[in-house]
Amino acid sequence: MTDIHKSVQNYYGQELQQSSDLKTDACCSKAEIPLFIKDILKKIHPDVIAKYYGCGLIFPPKLEGCRVLDLGCGAGRDVYILSNLVGHQGYVVGVDMTKEQLDIANRFIDYHTKEFDFQTPNVEFHLGKIEQLTDNPNLKVNSFDVVVSNCVVNLSPDKKKVLQQVYEMLKPGGEFYFSDVYADRSVPEELRQNQILWGECLSGAIRESDLISDALDIGFTRPILVTQQPICINNQQLQDLLGDIKFTSCTYRLFKNKSIEDPIISDNKNGTLVTYQTPIIHYENEFQFDQSIIFKDQPQYVNDELTKMLRISRYNDNFKFESVTHENEIPKSTKQVSNCCCRQGTC
């Protein structure tokens, strides 16, 4: 166990008792919550809600029946929301290294099973480090459709190792969908040594350029930025230490690549027309794939990289794909969308 792990364990196990004990607003989400999630939140036990320290919403569409793994699940708020979203046919596993957090999560398994009207629980929690998932006897490689995480990767001293472990856990084509804290530049070493700033999810903030290069190295598709919000520190003393480093809370999606023989992609020299044809529950009118790409029931022209992401993913069945072999086949009314990920100007 590294000093960082010990200090983070102490911060989330002893120092903080509830969300309002945080010294900054970095790990507390201001993201707008959709109505259907608000309805589920009403069923979550208040003791679990009180210990929520997330910085975004980690609920991608089409979760019904999925096996989901939540990294750094804490007291379990998101695991229980996901439990409801995957339904009784799905399953959610939470992993966290802090016993005090998991004690709360475990205490309310029966409560939520009853609240959601399930015969048996569809969640379990395990103590462990997210850098060592493959060593955890409770977890099987290639067994999860979706891996999520809320404000945790920044706290790891070895973020590339975490990404590698996520890759191992996902089925081919599976999605890693996570919210975390990002910095627009490297955080100086003396600030990285500050345990409060680390525990508050600031000193270990991720660089977007590192995420992209690590992900591509490991074999993920290019990370897609889904949402981004500025973080206000709201603590003058800590703000003075941090100077003008800008922090944002971002949600990214990336897929575990798989090779497919696909006429849609290989025959295709000029992109693809993609139509959101079979709507997903709660996303009846549109599917927001990234910050600027919103799929609707009208054909949109997309590049091969993005087409492949959709084709290998569980979203494939919800779209109609039409290869474009000549530029003049592109209807004038369609908007060209690409998947540029460089929102913060760092890559």
Q: Both tokens of residue 97?
A: 């290294």
- For residue 186, the minimal CB distance to ligand SAM (Å) is 20
d(CA 186, CA 280): 39
Report DSSP state, residue 333. T
d(CA 56, CA 310): 23
- For residue 70, the minimal CB distance to ligand SAM (Å) is 7
- For residue 69, the minimal CB distance to ligand SAM (Å) is 12
Q: How many CB atoms lie within 10 A of CB 56?
A: 26
Nearer to ligand SAM (CB atom), residue 104 or residue 302: 104
Interaction site with ligand SAM (CB under 6 A): 5, 8, 12, 27, 52-54, 72-74, 77-78, 96-98, 101, 129-131, 150-152, 155-156, 201
Nearer to ligand SAM (CB atom), residue 37 or residue 260: 37
Nearer to ligand SAM (CB atom), residue 69 or residue 324: 69
Nearer to ligand SAM (CB atom), residue 125 or residue 321: 125
Nearer to ligand SAM (CB atom), residue 161 or residue 222: 161
What contacts 32, CB < 8 A, 6 or more positions away? none
Asked whether the beta carbons of 220 and 255 are under 8 A apart, the reply is yes
DSSP string across 227-266: EEEE-----HHHHHHHTT--EEEEEEEEEB------HHHH
Residue indicated by tokens 């100086």: 188
- For residue 112, the minimal CB distance to ligand SAM (Å) is 15
Nearest to 112 by CA among 72, 146, 76: 76
d(CA 117, CA 114): 5
Asked whether the beta carbons of 157 and 4 are under 8 A apart, the reply is yes
Asked whether the beta carbons of 156 and 130 are under 8 A apart, the reply is yes
- For residue 181, the minimal CB distance to ligand SAM (Å) is 9
Nearer to ligand SAM (CB atom), residue 57 or residue 302: 57
- For residue 130, the minimal CB distance to ligand SAM (Å) is 4
